[in-house]
Amino acid sequence: MIDEDIRAAVMAERSEQVDLLATLRPDQWDAPTLCGGWRVREVVAHTTMPFRTSTSRTLMELVRAGGRFNRMADRCARRDAARMTSAQLLAALRNNIAHPWKPPGGGPLGALSHDVIHGLDITVGLGLGRRVPPNRIAMVLAGLAPRNIAFFGTDLTKVALQATDLDWCHGTGTPVRGLAQHLLLVICGRRLPPAHLEGAAAKRFTR
């Protein structure tokens, strides 16, 4: 994949998320997402943190969290969501659509994956039915290395993930079928509403 194409996909994803977030009611900003314990505002605080926080400040936060990234991310998301309004959070995303941030070691594809996954945390959590363009999902899935999948710690033993909208599958065993974007969330350890998955092993990954 060419970096320029990935960067274009990142900007398109952020732009579409801005448009969607701008339509949310106040109660939806406080509604739960697929990220355990995070409302929409915590998710947006998290995805915009790299735009608002210097590298040195991020490292300080990581030290404060004892070197545990997930603990740091949770603390910062909750803090920023509490002190920023939904309008400020939305502006932080709108003003950084073209921001060149890349996660350490992840490159532009890591940035795209980050934005797509957390965008789905919001839209699937709210039941909005947004479909991420197939080419964007295909980019993210194509970039998933074994170490990326292992990072989430999801038990995919003897499970065959089979996309119904893309020519993509992962693993062998009892089938779990669904849209590629929903299978991506399965890999990331999210529990989905039952209607999003089908197959003999689907119940393992639904609420």
Say what the pLDDT of residue 1 is: 73
Question: Interhelix angle for 107-126 vs 134-142, to 10°?
Answer: 120
Predicted local distance difference test score (pLDDT) of residue 156: 96
Same domain, 118 and 80: yes
Cα-trace Rg, the chain: 17
Question: What domain range is 63 assigned to?
Answer: 1-132
Q: pLDDT at position 72, please?
A: 95
Q: What is the pLDDT of residues 23-56, one digit of tens each?
A: 999 999 999 999 999 999 999 999 999 999 988 9
Same domain (yes/no): 114, 34: yes
Final residue in a domain of this structure, among 86, 103, 132: 132
Q: How many CA atoms lie within 13 A of 140 on its CB side?
A: 27
For residues 99 and 14, membership in a common domain is answered with yes
Shared-domain flag, residues 127 and 183 = no
Strands (DSSP E) along the chain, which ranges? 159-163, 169-170, 174-178
* Domain count along the chain: 2
Q: Note the pLDDT tens digit of each residue in 60-100.
A: 999 999 999 899 999 999 999 999 999 999 999 999 999 99
- Report the distance separating Cα 119 and Cα 91, nearest Å: 16
φ and ψ at residue 163, rounded to 5 degrees: -75, 140
Taking the complete model, does pTM exceed 0.85, yes or no?
A: yes
From the list 15, 41, 37, 17, the residue with the least C-alpha distance to 27 is 41
Contact 158, 172 (CB under 8 A): yes
The whole-number pLDDT of residue 104 equals: 87
138-182 per-position pLDDT tens digit: 999 999 989 889 989 999 999 999 999 999 999 999 999 999 999
- What CATH code is carried by the domain that includes residue 127? 1.20.120
